[in-house]
Chains A and B, each alone.
Chain A
Amino acid sequence: MDLSLAPPSAAVLSFAEEVGATGPVAVLGGRTHWHVAGELDAGARLVRAPSGIVAHEPEELIVRCGAGTPVGELTEALAEHGQMSPLDPASPDATVGGVLSVGYSGVRRLRYGPVRDLLLEARYVAANGELVKAGAPVVKNVTGFDLCRLLVGSVGTLGLIGEVVLRCRPIPAATRWLLSVDADPWVTRRALFGASAVLWDGNTTWVLLEGYAADVDAEARVLSPSFTEVAGPPPLPAGVRLSLAPKALRGLSASVLGGPFVAEIGIGTVHVASGAPKVASSSNSSGDARVAMLNRELKAAFDPTGRLNPGRRP
């Protein structure tokens, strides 16, 4: 009766074999986020996830690819059919599996949502070397518990992702970045119906508008006259990445943060150049100890010997 238990590809099977069942192990992606979430134990063996696009199905708005595929390669392949999967990492060398495991969303999150919502199916290698399937290659699915969400942002500590199916979207017809040195970013965001990004460094506000050209132009006209066209977003400071409640961004300054910053208005992500910011990522509710316990027990349940990405913790 195994009607849809589509067998894993040969590439995924050999990836599982390589991961094996014993000894500390980690997946090497594009090395673009290697130091996120702790330093990997020196003894860990490095493996690579399969790379390459297995199938892009434009009329289904999905793509299946190896987790080791560089995002740049994926972006190019999808663009051939006018589509994208907005993983938006800082570097196109980042691998699909790497972006998902780290779980960082790009600056277009305001419009496209977080990266966690892109993952429809994952084939991952469990700590005992077995292959596991989470989700399915369809755009809407509530069949069983949502292990896909759990994998995103888990920095490879619950399972090593070998192959994924991602949600795609049409590439917007028009794209414009605009900048103003004296606009209020909050007023700006509220004035717009659907900005893809509103960035702010304490002085300057950048806005990304995407969609039909007529819509983009109409939104640009809503902006205060101080906005002018720019080629793209500012470079994002790569020192510290803070995750704050969106309303906590009001009143941020370089002095509070200990360095220059770019904040994602309406989202709460703050990219800080360096140093030790005096603001901590929020969350100190009474249930935190219980949440910490759930996190520990989850890790213990999925990787009892702690062999997957030892040294790292989401």
Chain B
Amino acid sequence: MSPSSPELLAELRAALAPIRVLDSPFEKVLYARDASAVGYAPPGVVCLPLTTAEVQACVRIAAAHGRPVTPRGSGTGLAGGAVPLNDPVVIVTTKMNRLVEVDEDSRTAWVEPGLLNLDLSRQVAHLGLHYAPDPSSQQTCSIGGNVASNSGGPHCLLHGCTSAHVLAIEVVLADGSVCVLGGPEPDAPGYDLRGAFVGSEGTMGIATKILVRLMPNPPTIRTLLADFASIRDASAAVSAIIGAGILPAALEMMDANCIAAVENFAHAGLPLDAAAVLLVEVEGLAAGTEIAASEIVAQCRASGARAVRVAATVEERMLLWKARKSAFGAIANIKPNYYLHDCVVPRTKLVEVMEKVVDIVESRGLIVLNVFHAGDGNLHPLIVFDRREPGVEEKVQQAGKAIIEACVAAGGVLSGEHGIGLEKRDYMALVFSAVDLEHQQRLRDVFDPARRMNPEKVLPTGSWCGELHHVPEGAWI
């Protein structure tokens, strides 16, 4: 990227503090990508504001210099959403990380966008409350990033994803103005601009303060691990549990490759000879939770489970979840690089699509681990590879494209929680017509007519119906 003009830097340094405006090459490369391998672009300048007013100043100064803006939280995104394209001013929210105010009557809290997801739950724990959406990255991802991505997590099966837990958002718009979308009241007047903003991936403005809903901690939690000899049986159990009228808090699946990787890492006592395990959690009042747990045990057995283990202690439960959430750390033992996919298919198509996915990946001589939110049909095929092997990146890319097509062919969608970002932008025409996309563009243009916020993301640029079905230029560097 071109170096930033001295005037731009001087104005930003005057508005913030010089120390919070970064432009050294060493610092800037830290903001060149997110947690995926999609896209790489060291930005010209990075700002670390402390307040809404400072965010406004950054946005205005960027506008005056004709520069776009890319908002950034913790940079854990997996769709290239925070990759700074078109030489933007990057605005990072990590220093705006306070829990501002808790209202116990309403069970809500105002938080700053840089507050980390798990820190929020930790800081309200003494009130017996927690923030329900729990992405696996919750120790490091920001609430602002969650809002922009409409993030999910294992416990979103019962409680819904981020949008269901966000009541109001203070937003700095592309013109530097600030306003509050939604509100503490149940039905804010006007259109649901709050709902439109959630999941907008930084293209409609920067969230600078968020009113979130908090949930009471469940008095009883039961966590079960069911061991299956085939993925088919495990998938049948998923349908059987839902079909029996039980909505677990979480319903996760891991396949044999994944079990091997995480067991080696987390030592949670997972069955190494299983083809698949289900990790199921039910929560609520004591009596109902026990009923649901025994019904789940029965459904798993009826679907062919070889064994079902109920975590006996809190420690055992935490260990099972550690195993589930450490899949990404664990793969480093197999290969140095990974590509994590995210798509949703109808639950009843899980087996069919998983078999296709394994075939797609293995026929190219690659390794895939499956660890995913089975309860909502949200697949996460994780391809591991070593980019130093000649030709491997191309194979990974081809496999990724074939996986997306298989999911869409099964009636699925491109993303359940990671977002479109840069990664899947050019696949949007697989699921939306030109007219559908044009309506999405209209919405974005109301918020940001000049398309200066996080340019080149989410919606395909140029011709809608073109055959742009390739991973964008610059990916995989």
Chain A residues packing against B (C-beta within 8 Å): 1-6, 57-61, 82-83, 103-105, 109, 113-114, 116-117, 126, 130-134, 136-150, 152-154, 158, 169-171, 186, 190, 193-194, 211-212, 214-215, 218-219, 243-247, 250, 264, 266-269, 281-283, 285-288, 290-292, 294-295, 297-298, 301-302, 314
Report A-chain residues with C-beta under 8 Å of the C-beta of B440. Answer: 144-145, 147
Residue of B nearest to A169 (CB): B247
Q: Report the contact-size class of chain B (Cβ under 8 Å from the partner).
A: 35 or more
B409:A301 contact, CB within 8 angstroms? no
Report B-chain residues with C-beta under 8 Å of the C-beta of A3. Answer: 405, 408-409, 430-431
For chain B residues 68-122, which have a beta carbon within 8 Å of chain A?
Answer: 103-108
B200:A150 contact, CB within 8 angstroms? no
Contact among B186, B191, B414 for A150, CB-based, below 8 A: B191
Provide the main secondary structure of the chain A interface: loop
Q: What mask results when residues 444 to 477 of chain B are scored 1 for a CB within 8 Å of chain A, else 0?
A: 1111000000000011000000010100000000
Would A1 and B192 be within 8 Å (CB), given that A247-B105, A269-B187, A282-B185 are in contact?
Answer: no
Would A142 and B190 be within 8 Å (CB), given that A1-B430, A133-B433, A282-B185 are in contact?
Answer: no
Alpha-carbon separation in the docked complex, A287 to B52 (Å): 13
**Other A-B pairs, 14, CB within 8 Å; known A5-B433, A140-B378:** A2-B430, A59-B242, A134-B439, A142-B419, A143-B420, A146-B195, A147-B439, A150-B193, A170-B247, A186-B105, A211-B285, A212-B288, A243-B189, A283-B183
Q: Does B19 contact A (CB under 8 A)?
A: no
Would A250 and B219 be within 8 Å (CB), given that A138-B346, A149-B163 are in contact?
Answer: no
Report A-chain residues with C-beta under 8 Å of the C-beta of B194. Answer: 149
Sampled A-B contacts (17; CB under 8 Å): A5-B432, A57-B346, A83-B245, A126-B439, A133-B436, A142-B152, A143-B431, A146-B195, A146-B200, A147-B443, A150-B195, A152-B195, A214-B291, A243-B186, A243-B189, A250-B105, A291-B190
**Of B39-47, B172-180, B324-332, the one with at least 4 CB within 8 A of chain A:** B172-180
Report B-chain residues with C-beta under 8 Å of the C-beta of A282. Answer: 183-185
B436:A134 contact, CB within 8 angstroms? yes
* A130 → B minimal CB distance (Å): 5
* A160 → B minimal CB distance (Å): 13
B106:A266 contact, CB within 8 angstroms? yes
Report B-chain residues with C-beta under 8 Å of the C-beta of A158. Answer: 191
In the A-B complex, the 5 residue pairs with the smallest Cβ-Cβ separation, listed nearest first, are: A149-B195, A287-B179, A214-B287, A212-B288, A170-B245
A4:B418 contact, CB within 8 angstroms? no
Report A-chain residues with C-beta under 8 Å of the C-beta of B437. Answer: 144
B191:A138 contact, CB within 8 angstroms? no
Contact among A59, A130, A291, A292 for B347, CB-based, below 8 A: A59
Alpha-carbon separation in the docked complex, A299 to B444 (Å): 13
Report A-chain residues with C-beta under 8 Å of the C-beta of B409. Answer: 3-4
Alpha-carbon separation in the docked complex, A291 to B188 (Å): 11
Q: Does B64 contact A (CB under 8 A)?
A: no
Residue of B nearest to A302 (CB): B442
B447:A294 contact, CB within 8 angstroms? yes
Residue of B nearest to A287 (CB): B179
Contact among B160, B408, B444 for A145, CB-based, below 8 A: B444
Contact among A58, A146, A148, A246 for B106, CB-based, below 8 A: A246
B376:A139 contact, CB within 8 angstroms? yes
* A63 → B minimal CB distance (Å): 13
* B236 → A minimal CB distance (Å): 11
B432:A194 contact, CB within 8 angstroms? no
Residue of B nearest to A148 (CB): B195
A268:B186 contact, CB within 8 angstroms? yes
* B367 → A minimal CB distance (Å): 26
For chain B residues 407-431, which have a beta carbon within 8 Å of chain A?
Answer: 408-409, 411-420, 424, 428-431
Alpha-carbon separation in the docked complex, A103 to B189 (Å): 11
A245:B184 contact, CB within 8 angstroms? yes
Which of A59, A117, A144, A269 lies at the interface centre, i.e. has the most chain B CB atoms within 10 A of its CB?
Answer: A144
Contact among A58, A141, A247 for B416, CB-based, below 8 A: A141
* A206 → B minimal CB distance (Å): 18
Report B-chain residues with C-beta under 8 Å of the C-beta of A288. Answer: 179
* B137 → A minimal CB distance (Å): 15
Alpha-carbon separation in the docked complex, A223 to B14 (Å): 59
B469:A1 contact, CB within 8 angstroms? yes
For chain B residues 290-309, which have a beta carbon within 8 Å of chain A?
Answer: 291-292
Would A58 and B243 be within 8 Å (CB), given that A1-B430, A136-B413, A215-B285 are in contact?
Answer: yes
Which of B105, B106, B156, B173 lies at the interface centre, i.e. has the most chain A CB atoms within 10 A of its CB?
Answer: B105
